[in-house]
Amino acid sequence: MVNTLVIHKKDKSLAGDFRLPYSKSESNRALIIKALKDQNITIHNLSEADDTLHLNKCLRLINTCGVSGLPMIVDVRNTGTSMRFLTAYLAVLKGKWLLTGCQRMQERPILFLVNALKQMGADISYTNKSGFPPILISGKELQGGTLSMDASVSSQFITALLLIAPTLPRGLRLQLKGDFVSKPYVMMTIFMLRDFGIDVEYENDEIVVPSQEFKEDHFEINPDWSAASYAYELLALSEAGSLFIPKLKRKSLQGDNILPDIFSDLGVESHFTPDGLKISKTIKVVDFLEYDFVNCPDLAQTVLATCVGLGIEGRFKGLQNLKIKETNRIEKMDLEFSPFGFGLKEIGNEWLLKKTSAKVDFTKINHIFKTYGDHRIAMSLAPLVLKTGRLQIENPDVVVKSFPKFWKELENLGFELKKN
């Protein structure tokens, strides 16, 4: 039986604190660095997201494994970051490994990363469909050298290579080709490597990491800017109010700190204080929104759902990689926007968010929203209850992937939640 959550909010104004989880992007990188350093590193504020907890579990399992003739099975389930990062990590770790995941993970391509590692001499083969997990890895020392990588495919492929680069005897000279997607996530990796004492040069689409030792012995994880997008959406769809987000700083390794700029056009004003960020409802809302999400794809669903709630059409770029996430996010969001009289249409390299029917009375929508196993779909749809009055959503527990206390934060703001 499918679990559903019914959400109510009588008062459409908002006030209070919205507490964020700590960044799983920073946490997952820090965990791989800790494993590579093979020394004690203290990570402060490690994310409680399911993705991070499971990556940590996989690393502990790997660490306890002795070398034997049979490969150890490492199941990342539906954690894309773990699949990419562990592919590179296990390629340089002595042992035999069968790296696998859930059915959806076995549909997500990994060809470019595997090919790059093979160019350095990695021993990796596919056990089912070529170019996709599961993969069989016989870890060994890789020398490094010069590689070319298509930067338009996945920033996580680039990050996976950069994380192991300092351990390679010849280091790594990575030449990036094509349009760079999610560049801030690669910059996060570079800045974190530098925090751990690694010399990294980045110039003219080339990243150079010499062979060297990690030096830093502690790292502090920051609150998750991606999760802050749901606070922005809630306020944008409210009738009035303000929210305070503790500990969130403007200066961040995370590219999603562009949120204040995006939502300034959607009725939300941002004011940073020494203790965090205060966001307030305003009347400034554009009639039509255009934005390129190439550097912040994790914000796309939140912004699109906000536009639907506000009745705003738009034109967007940089959504292509959403098709290969936990689900085909573009296809599924299009389906869930339909009851609101909105749809997404792809034209070339752009996506149009357009009204598909006459004015819809949101308060009369009687639809059980699906989440498709995707945490960001669940969290971006939930704030629409401020326009519908009542909203029912399937499989609400998917939020544990990145924001385990999401529903608790809504309750703290006066939302009424009831599981069926």
Residues marked active site are found at 298
Neighbours of 70 (CB within 10 A): 7
- Rounded alpha-carbon distances, angstroms, from residue 198 to 92, 234, 286: 18, 40, 44
Q: Using alpha carbons only, how large is the chain's radius of gyration in Å?
A: 22
In this structure, what DSSP letter does residue 64 have?
T
Q: Are 258 and 187 in contact (CB under 8 A)?
A: no
Query: Which has the closest alpha carbon to 308: 383, 254, 244, 239?
Result: 383
Residue 241 Rama label (left phi>0; alpha psi -120 to 50; beta): left
From residue 419, alpha-carbon distances to 4, 374, 393, 396 in Å are 6, 18, 10, 9
The amino acid present at 135, given as its one-letter code, is: I
- Please state whether beta strands 13-17 and 240-246 pair in parallel, antiparallel, or not at all (unpaired): parallel
Task: State how far the Cα of 68 lies from the Cα of 297, in Å rounded to an integer.
Answer: 41
Phi and psi angles of residue 22, each rounded to the nearest 5 degrees, phi first: -85, 155
DSSP H stretches of helix in 174-299? 183-195, 225-237, 259-263
Gap between the Cα atoms of 263 and 252, Å rounded:
18
Instruction: Please measure the distance between the N-terminal and C-terminal CA atoms of the chain and give it in whole angstroms.
Output: 10
Residues sharing a CB contact under 8 Å with residue 275, sequence separation 6 or more, in sequence order: 246, 247
